[in-house]
Amino acid sequence: MRLSKKERQNALVNTIKENPFITDEESAERFGVSVQTIRLDRMELSIPELRERIKHVAEKSFEDEVKALPIEEIIGEIIDIDLGDSAISIFDVKPEHVFVRNGIARGHHLFAQANSLAVAVINDDLALTAKSSIRFTRSVKQGDRVVAKAKVVHAHDQKDRTMVEVNSFVGGELVFTGEFDMYHSTKPEKE
């Protein structure tokens, strides 16, 4: 059964409140309408596009929490962080991130997303990558959304070092994995 425009718009507002990271495509599928209809609904309701919603949520939630680098220096958009424990970011692969001849993402963008997330999760004013071990498990293409998940796996015997594991996924499939040996000025504590 199709909803009236008013019912659909009310349902869209509630859906976006529940999940600010839902795409226009997912909303269109959910309500059985075109992507253009969802975009028009959003415009009428003054609901910003996904990228702006993500940016707003990230800035509001995390700008006071991330200590090691300014939020705008993180590659990708942080959507969750628990300092000293775990963090999640998303990165949308655009034309400027890929090789023109084949549309495959340049590896340094995936590395930068993972590395900056490893820095961000450290609960300290100073965090630097001492060394890393990385592996790309499959190519990433233009249009893919990369979800990176960082986890502090253990602190070293040295009080100024912590190991952070980052796994990156596209549609649930592992595309990148890395271990980052992080130097910081003090031993991080979970807040």
pLDDT surpassing 70 at residue 75: yes
Residues forming CATH 3.10.129.10 domain(s) in the chain: 62-184
Band of residue 160 on the pLDDT scale cut at 50, 70, 90? confident
Please give the span between the terminal C-alpha atoms of the chain, in angstroms, as a whole number: 48
Mean pLDDT confidence for 83-98: 92
Mean pLDDT confidence for 50-63: 61
Residue pair 33/8 in contact by the 8 Å Cβ criterion: yes
Task: Select the CATH number that applies to the domain covering 5-47 from these four: 3.30.1330.60, 1.10.10.10, 3.30.420.40, 1.10.1740.10.
Answer: 1.10.10.10
Residues forming CATH 1.10.10.10 domain(s) in the chain: 5-47
Q: What is the topology classification, in CATH, of domain 62-184?
A: Thiol Ester Dehydrase; Chain A (3.10.129)
